Structure 1
C-alpha cells in the first residue's frame, strides 16, 4: 500500500533534481561582453536627467565611465564584406556612467536587448587616471572578482589616455578589436620588452597579499588602426595605487630579474660598434644573505644563451674565441646596466617591490620574513635599503653563417 505513494514522490523528486535546463538561455539571446574599459567621466557635472547612459546620482557626480564591447553575433560571418546586406561592425560599444560598477552593469538593462554576459570576457582596460588614485585599482576590479560568470583568465591593462580608445581601434586583420588586443598582449615570448600578460586571477593574489606588481601598459595609435604595448605600470601593494610606469628597456630589465625573459635581443657595444645578441633565458636564481635583516643582500644570477643576430663591428672575426668572449662580456655589461636601472627606479622612485624579492624571502627565509614583513614595503621600508647585485652569464652558442661582413 505504501510503495506506490513513495515511488511517486521519489519520481517527482528525481524530476526536480535532474531538470538541468531550467535556466537555459539561447546563445543568440545572450549579450556577450568581451571587453570592458574603465575611465573617469569626461564631464565634471552631475549626469543630466534623461541622458543615455548617465546615472542620476544623489551623492554627486559619477565616479566611473565604463565602456562595454558586445559581440554582434549576427554580423560576425559577414563583417568583412561591405556589399553584403549583413555586413557592418561585428561589435557594439556602449558607455554608461555611475559611482559603482555593479550599478552601471544593471543600467545596461535599459539600453540593450541582451543583458551583459561575462563568461567570454577577454580584456579589462583601466585608465591611468583611475589607477593613479589611491585604492581605486582594487576597487574597480572588485566587481569582476565577485561576479560568478567572470573568468579569472581575463587580461588586465593600464592605458595611457582614455581606456575606451582601445575598444575603438579598427584593426585591418581582425573583426573584433578586443580579439586583436588580446592577441597582441600574448606576444611577450617574441619580444623581451613586453611584459607577460597580467591576468585577473594573478592580480587578485597580489592584492590579497598586499604585494606590489606590474601590469601591461597599452595605448592606441593616433590613426586608430593599431595598439601598442608600452612598458609596464607599477602598482604599489600597500594602497593598490599606480606608482609610475616602466619604459620598454626597463621592462626588459624587470623580465630578466624576475625570470620572465623568454627570448629577446640584447644590444651590446663592442669597440664602439653595435652587436645584437639574440638570447633566451636559461636559468635565474636568487640567493639572499639575511645575516642583517635590516639590510638584506640579494645576489641574482642570470644565465642566458643565444646567437649573434647582427653585427656592425666589421673587425670582429666571430669564429675566434677571443672575439666571442668580447661579445659575451659586452652583453653581460648591458644586462647589468639595464637591470640596475630598473632596480634603482623600483627602490628609490617607486618604493615598490615589483621584483618579488619579498615573496622569495617569505618562501625561503620565513623566520626572517615574519620579523620584517610588515616593514618591507611600508613602515621602515627595508626593501629600499637592501643591496641587490646582478651577476649575468652569457654564452654565445652560434655566430651565424658568416665570419665577417663587409661595410
Structure 2
C-alpha cells in the first residue's frame, strides 16, 4: 500500500514538472508588438499576389500592418558583414476583418503570430474619421491573447508610416510606448490611453482625447492629440501641441515639464520648470444655467533666463514674471476650450463628469445632449503660479 502511494506521488510530480504543454520555440513564433490600422490601401505585394491568383472574397475596408520582433537567436536578426540587420519587420494585409487579416498571414509565413506582447495600436486619420473606434477595437478586447494594457494612438496621416520608421536598434512600437515615460519632462504628452480605459468612453458615448503621433525620416513625434466625439465614436479633428498643453494645465494632469514665455515689455525670455500642477473645477448651477469655475495652481523654478550681465532678481521682478506666466497659461487654456466648444462642439475635458459628481440631478437632465450644452456653457479661469526656486545660478534674489 505504501509502495503504491509512493508511485502515485512520483507520477503526480512528473505531471507537475512536465513544463508548459502549449510551449513553442520562440524561433517559430511571430511576436506582435505593434499594429497599425489604416483605411484600405493594398500594398504592391498584395496587388502582385492578386494578379497571380492569390485572392479571396472580401471587402477592402482596412489595411492592417503588423509589427513583429525578430528573436535574437534567429538568423534574420543576426549580424551580417559587421552590421546589425533590422530587429523587427512589418507585414500588411487588407480586408474587412482584422482577425481574418491576421490569419491570412499564415499563408505567407511559417511563424504563428502571437499577441501576448502587443504594446501599441496606431489608427490612421482616414480610418478614424470614418469608422467608430468601438468597431476597430472589438477584436482586441475579445481576444484572450491580447492584454487590455495595450496603448492606443491616432496618426495624422497613415498609421503604417509610424511603424515603418525607427533609428538603429529601435523598435517603433516600443519607442511609442516608451515616450509616455517622458510625461514628467514635457507638458505636450497626453496621458496614456489603454484598451481598458478606452472601452468606457466608447460605450458611454463620452467624448475624449487620444495622443496623436506623426513620423518624419526615421523618427516618430508625439504632436498634439485627436479629438473623438462620443456620439459617433469617430475622430472629428486635432488639437495641436499648444492645445494639448492647454488641456494638461486645464485638467491638472501634467507630471512636469517646461513653460516658456517672452515678456512683452522687455522681450526677456522666462523659462519655468514645472514641479507641480493642480486643477480644481467647480460646477455652478443657477436655475437652468450651468457654468464652471476653473482654478489652476503650479509651483516651480526659474531654469533659464536671458538676463544680460547677470542682473540680480528682486521680489518685484519675480512677481512680474509670475503674472506673465499666469497670463500665458490662461490664454492657452482659453484657446483649447474655445476650440472644443466652437469648432468640435465636444466636451473632451470631462466637464460633464464634474457636473455629474457635483450636481447629479442636473446632469441627468442634460446628459443626453451634453456636448451641445457644453458648447454654450460659460467658463471662468484663475491661474496661480508660484516661483519657489531660482536655480543654482549667480543671478540671485536681492
- TM-score, with structure 1 as normaliser: 0.85
Deviation string 1:175-200 (CA, Å, 9 cap, x unpaired) is: 42322232224322211112122222
Deviation string 1:189-225 (CA, Å, 9 cap, x unpaired) is: 211112122222111121122111111111111x2x2
CA shift for structure 1 position 272: 3.7
- Tell which deviates more after alignment, 48-57 or 212-221: 48-57
Q: Structure 2 CA distance, aligned partners of 1:90 and 1:53? A: 32
Indicate which of 387, 395, 398 corresponds to 1:403: 395
SS at 1:198 equivalent: coil
Q: Structure 2 CA distance, aligned partners of 1:125 and 1:198? A: 11
Q: 1:44 to 1:81 in 2, by over 3 A?
A: closer
Between the two proteins, the alignment pairs up a number of residues equal to 385
Indicate which of 321, 328, 346 corresponds to 2:340: 346
Q: 1:277 to 1:318 in 2, by over 3 A?
A: farther
Indicate which of 135, 138, 157 corresponds to 1:139: 135
Q: 1:23 to 1:75 in 2, by over 3 A?
A: closer
Unaligned runs of 5+ in 2: none
Report whether the alignment pairs 1:226 with 2:223.
no
Structure 1 contact 185–229 (Cα < 8 Å) conserved: no
CA shift for structure 1 position 102: 1.5
How large is the RMSD of aligned CA atoms in angstroms?
3.1
Q: 1:74 to 1:267 in 2, by over 3 A?
A: closer
2:34 is matched with which residue?
35
Indicate which of 352, 375, 385 corresponds to 1:394: 385
- Tell which deviates more after alignment, 188-197 or 229-238: 188-197
Q: 1:280 to 1:390 in 2, by over 3 A?
A: farther
Unaligned runs of 5+ in 1: none
1:286 is matched with which residue?
281
Structure 1 contact 54–98 (Cα < 8 Å) conserved: no
Q: 1:91 to 1:316 in 2, by over 3 A?
A: closer
CA shift for structure 1 position 88: 2.3
- TM-score, with structure 2 as normaliser: 0.87
SS at 1:296 equivalent: strand
Structure 2 contact 31–69 (Cα < 8 Å) conserved: yes
1:211 is matched with which residue?
206
- Tell which deviates more after alignment, 228-237 or 258-267: 258-267
1:68 is matched with which residue?
66
Deviation string 1:59-97 (CA, Å, 9 cap, x unpaired) is: xx4001101011221457995844359x52222211011
CA shift for structure 1 position 44: 11
Structure 1 contact 305–395 (Cα < 8 Å) conserved: yes
SS at 2:335 equivalent: helix
1:302 is matched with which residue?
296
SS at 1:207 equivalent: helix
Q: 1:57 to 1:288 in 2, by over 3 A?
A: same
Structure 1 contact 54–97 (Cα < 8 Å) conserved: no
1:98 is matched with which residue?
95
CA shift for structure 1 position 347: 0.8
Report whether the alignment pairs 1:181 with 2:196.
no
2:56 is matched with which residue?
56
